[in-house]
């Protein structure tokens, strides 16, 4: 018997883990963004979802929290060789933290046309811009990632409309 998950593309497999984190955020009333940090020898060393509301902390983005976990797991702030998977294109804060942490690669799902700092609004990962280059892959499971975010905000707008009546 073959296990189809063993044959799945690693980027899609890890993005599904990030989507599970995003779903946890949604259930908690947070913007549904999830992130996973993968180390080639140690496996998953960080996984988190947005917790800005719960922690009352503007920096509690999924990417920042997962980078912190990875640093603890690897006992280093230098996360060279790791890949960060996130359901939404990183914002400027998260992209800056990714560069500072020396993450080797970022894989993200949906573009963020309002605050994306990789392709959409800014290009913080542009080669040669900083002392550390980050490679990236965009659009992995983009439809699922984008649909979760769209539904979350559509539902919130609907709830807001019903509260005004």
pTM of structure: 0.92
In the residue annotation, 28 being an active-site residue is answered as no
Helix (H, G, I), strand (E, B) or coil at 89: coil
Residues 106-121: what's their mean pLDDT? 98
22 near 63, Cβ under 8 Å? Answer: no
Render pLDDT for 54-107 as a digit per residue (tens, 0 to 9): 999 999 999 999 999 999 999 999 999 999 999 999 999 999 999 999 999 999
Average pLDDT over residues 98-117: 98
Dist. CA 65–CA 165, nearest whole Å: 38
> Average pLDDT over the chain, rounded to whole?
93
> Is 1's pLDDT higher than 50?
no
* 50: region left, alpha or beta (phi > 0 left; psi from -120 to 50 alpha): beta
Question: Residues 28, 41, 53, 63: which is the catalytic one?
Answer: 63
């Amino acid at each position: 018997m073959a296990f189809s998950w063993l044959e799945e593309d690693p980027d899609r497999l890890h993005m599904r883990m990030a989507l599970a984190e995003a779903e946890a955020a949604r259930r908690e009333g947070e913007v549904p963004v999830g992130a996973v940090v993968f180390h080639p020898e140690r496996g998953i060393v960080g996984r988190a979802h947005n917790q800005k509301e719960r922690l009352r902390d503007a920096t509690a983005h999924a990417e920042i929290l997962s980078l912190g976990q990875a640093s603890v797991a690897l006992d280093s702030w230098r996360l060279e060789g790791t890949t960060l998977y996130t359901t939404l294109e990183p914002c400027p804060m998260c992209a800056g933290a990714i560069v500072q942490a020396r993450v080797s690669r970022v894989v993200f799902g949906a573009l963020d046309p309002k605050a994306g700092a990789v392709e959409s609004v800014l290009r913080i990962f542009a080669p040669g811009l900083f002392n550390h280059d980050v490679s990236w892959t965009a659009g992995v499971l983009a439809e699922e990632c984008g649909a979760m975010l769209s539904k979350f905000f559509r539902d919130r707008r609907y709830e807001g409309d019903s509260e005004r009546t």
